[in-house]
């Protein structure tokens, strides 16, 4: 029987410009694409109506249809990856396995297991960079250690992008590192077979949510204006591509090419994405502990009632509440408001950033472990590149700056301005002082 290669899709739910798929197609055997609905992950989700699962299911179905239209098929499994692989090895004459790097701690462990299993049968496991522009070992300080401050990291990132190892021309938009992988040239190398069924959401224990997903396409005009409009939550000024980056339905190389041409501030956001992925890969403890350990000495108040009010958008601070309601209703929150709500929870309420991080992880469509823990630790002051701890966002000042005509607030808080809208649960100035004291207490302990 002729051998086949398996290409394992994970955070790269697309056929075009896919590094691992490209290499699989150029390899020695016909290629069978695979996706596994991983019960290690799915069983932990608290809501059976989870838009992320629905998003994945929709896009896996799209891939399966695209492949069927080319006379090929996709294998969609549901189970524990290590067990699925044991079964696949019995069912198919697998000669090689290809996939793209996945940097989260769980993913790393999972891949190590699969790699060992395959190696025990003499099957090579080839993996590629696809999810980021530069991986953790590519941008390091002169002493070889990883950066922990963004700005010097970003300088080196840009320098490497412009370095063109294949020629002397230096044009970031045309960088060697941003070239696409022309998979479509090799689609004839897909394994020819009748389509296999894709398990239904319901069969896996999930139901549809009715949430609508942001489009994959974003206008050039929006990216061009990004630096001017991105801070105003009432304006449609951000790309909303987070969920597509998360699941790889778009190519980060393609978007970085656009950004390099159209808007430097937008490119910077993509560098932040690489930065936090690099931080998580180099310092996996940031998923559960403060990057700077002394910040784990802060005595969080962790008042459950106040946490509940924050989750529900009933703190009495309109910008905070509007953000939390937007999150609950749509699975999305504007970035400016993410910072304000996170600062409010950690600093005004003195609630552990991990509580807020977990809530965002549960609700955000575009949830990404690296960026979420990075962002929360930035807000709490415990992360890389942390702001000075006396930098406490004033939720009213932020509102006046970024939603001056209250358009965003009225959109999400219909009762704003009536007696039905709650009074603030804490007074700003007083809470600010309480926060500064709590932080000072914790940080002074270390010095002694």
Partner DNA sequence: TTTTGAGTTGTTCGA
Partner DNA sequence: GTCGAACAACTCAAA
In sequence order, what are the residues at sequence separation of 6 or more whose Cβ sits closer than 8 angstroms to the Cβ of residue 67?
A: 15, 33, 73, 74, 190, 195
CB 362 within 8 A of CB 369: no
**In this complex, which beta carbon is closest to DNA, that of residue 75 or of residue 337?**
337
- Closest approach, Cβ 416 to DNA, in A, equals 20
* Eight-state DSSP code of residue 131: S
Q: Which is nearer to DNA, 32 or 132 (CB)?
A: 132
The nearer residue to DNA, 264 or 312, going by C-beta atoms, is 264
The distance of closest approach from Cβ of residue 297 to DNA in the complex, given in angstroms and rounded to an integer, is 14
Residues 401-430 interacting with DNA (rule: CB under 7 A): 401, 428-429
Residue 341 beta carbon to DNA: minimum distance, rounded to whole angstroms: 13
**Least distance (Å) between residue 263 CB and DNA:** 14
Among 394, 406, 410, 438, binds DNA (CB under 7 A): 394
DSSP string, 309-330: HHHHT-SS-HHHHHHHHHHHHH
Q: Which is nearer to DNA, 164 or 428 (CB)?
A: 428
Of residues 332-371, which lie at the interface with DNA (CB under 7 A)? 335-336, 339
Q: Is residue 141 within 8 Å of 147, Cβ to Cβ?
A: yes
- CA–centroid distance for 57 within its chain: 18
Is 393 a binding residue for DNA by CB under 7 A? The answer is: yes
When binding is defined by CB under 7 A, the residue of 302, 397, 415, 445 that contacts DNA is 397
Alpha-carbon gap, residue 134 to 127, rounded angstroms? 15
Give least dist CB 179 to DNA, A. 26
Of 54-83, binders to DNA (CB under 7 A) are none
Measured from the CB atom, the residue of 102 and 269 that comes closer to DNA is 269
E-assigned strands of 150-301?
A: none
Q: Least distance (Å) from DNA to the CB of residue 370?
A: 12
Q: Which residues are catalytic?
A: 269, 272, 300, 335, 353, 376
Euclidean distance between CA atoms 120 and 1, whole angstroms: 21
As a whole number of Å, the CA-based R_g of the chain is 23
Q: Where are the alpha helices (DSSP H) in 230-263?
A: 242-247, 252-262
- With CB under 7 A as the contact rule, the residue among 310, 378, 408, 439 that binds DNA is 378
Question: Interface mask (CB under 7 A) for DNA, residues 116-155, using x and -?
Answer: -------------------------xx--x-xxxxxxx-x
DSSP 38: E
What's the min distance (Å) between Cβ of 336 and DNA? 7
Stretch of 63-71, 120-128, 186-194, 389-397 lying at the interface with DNA (CB under 7 A): 389-397
Cβ atoms of residues 173 and 260 within 8 Å: yes
**Residues 92, 176, 186, 272: which binds DNA (CB under 7 A)?**
272
Among 156, 164, 410, 434, binds DNA (CB under 7 A): 156
Distance CA 395, CA 360 (A): 19
Q: Which of residues 213-242 bind DNA (CB under 7 A)?
A: 231
In the chain, what are the helix, strand and coil shares in percent, each to the nearest 5? 50, 10, 40
Q: Which of 337, 252, 294 is nearest to 441 (CA)?
A: 294
- Please enumerate, as own/partner, the contacts of 304-307 that have beta carbons within 8 Å and a separation of 24 or more: 306/349, 306/351, 306/425, 307/345, 307/349, 307/351, 307/355
CA–CA separation, 169 vs 164, rounded Å? 7
Asked if 33 is part of the footprint of DNA (rule: CB under 7 A), the reply reads no
CB count in 10 Å sphere of residue 255? 23
Judged by beta carbon, residue 33 or residue 318, the one nearer DNA is 318
Q: Which range binds DNA by CB under 7 A, 29-37, 39-47, 65-73, 381-389?
A: 381-389
Interface residue list for DNA (CB under 7 A):
141-142, 145, 147-153, 155-156, 231, 268-269, 272, 335-336, 339, 375, 378, 385, 387-394, 397-398, 401, 428-429, 432, 436, 447
């Amino acid at each position: 029987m002729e051998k086949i290669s398996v290409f394992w899709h994970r955070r790269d739910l697309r056929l075009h410009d896919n590094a691992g798929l490209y290499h699989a197609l150029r390899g020695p055997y016909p290629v069978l694409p695979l996706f596994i609905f991983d019960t290690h992950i799915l069983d932990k989700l608290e809501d059976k109506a989870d838009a992320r699962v629905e998003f994945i299911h929709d896009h896996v179905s799209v891939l399966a249809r695209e492949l069927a239209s080319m006379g090929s098929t996709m294998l969609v499994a549901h189970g524990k990856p290590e067990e699925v692989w044991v079964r696949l090895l019995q069912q198919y004459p697998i000669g090689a396995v290809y996939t793209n790097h996945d940097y989260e701690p769980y993913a790393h462990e999972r891949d190590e297991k699969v790699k060992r299993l395959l190696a025990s049968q003499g099957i090579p496991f080839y993996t590629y960079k696809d999810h980021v522009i530069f991986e953790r070992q590519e941008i390091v300080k002169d002493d070889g250690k990883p950066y922990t401050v963004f700005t010097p990291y970003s300088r080196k990132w840009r320098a490497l992008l412009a370095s063109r190892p294949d020629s002397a021309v230096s044009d970031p938009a045309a960088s060697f590192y941003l070239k696409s992988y022309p998979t479509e040239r090799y689609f004839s190398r897909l394994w020819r077979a009748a389509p296999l069924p894709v398990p239904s959401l319901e069969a896996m224990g999930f139901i549809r949510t009715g949430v609508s997903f942001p489009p994959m396409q974003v206008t050039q005009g929006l990216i061009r204006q990004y630096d001017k409009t991105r801070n105003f939550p009432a304006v449609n000024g951000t790309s909303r591509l987070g969920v597509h980056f998360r699941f790889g339905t778009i190519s980060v190389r393609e978007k970085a090419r656009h950004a390099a041409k159209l808007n430097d501030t937008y490119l910077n956001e993509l560098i932040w994405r690489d930065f936090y992925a690099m931080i998580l890969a180099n310092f996996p403890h940031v998923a559960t502990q403060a990057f700077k350990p002394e910040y784990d000495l802060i005595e969080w108040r962790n008042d459950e009632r106040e946490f509940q009010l924050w989750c529900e958008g009933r703190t009495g601070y309109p910008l905070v509440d509007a953000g939390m309601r937007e999150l609950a209703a749509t699975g999305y929150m504007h970035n400016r408001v993410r910072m304000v709500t996170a600062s409010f929870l950690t600093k005004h309420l003195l609630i552990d950033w991990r509580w807020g991080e977990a809530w965002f992880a549960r609700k955000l469509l575009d949830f990404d472990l690296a960026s979420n823990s990075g962002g929360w630790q930035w807000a709490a002051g415990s992360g890389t590149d942390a702001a000075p701890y006396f930098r406490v966002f004033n939720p009213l000042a932020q509102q006046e700056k970024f939603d001056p005509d209250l358009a965003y607030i009225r959109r999400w808080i219909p009762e704003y301005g009536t007696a039905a809208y709650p009074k603030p649960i804490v007074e700003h100035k007083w809470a600010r002082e309480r926060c500064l004291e709590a932080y000072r207490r914790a940080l002074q302990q270390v010095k002694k």
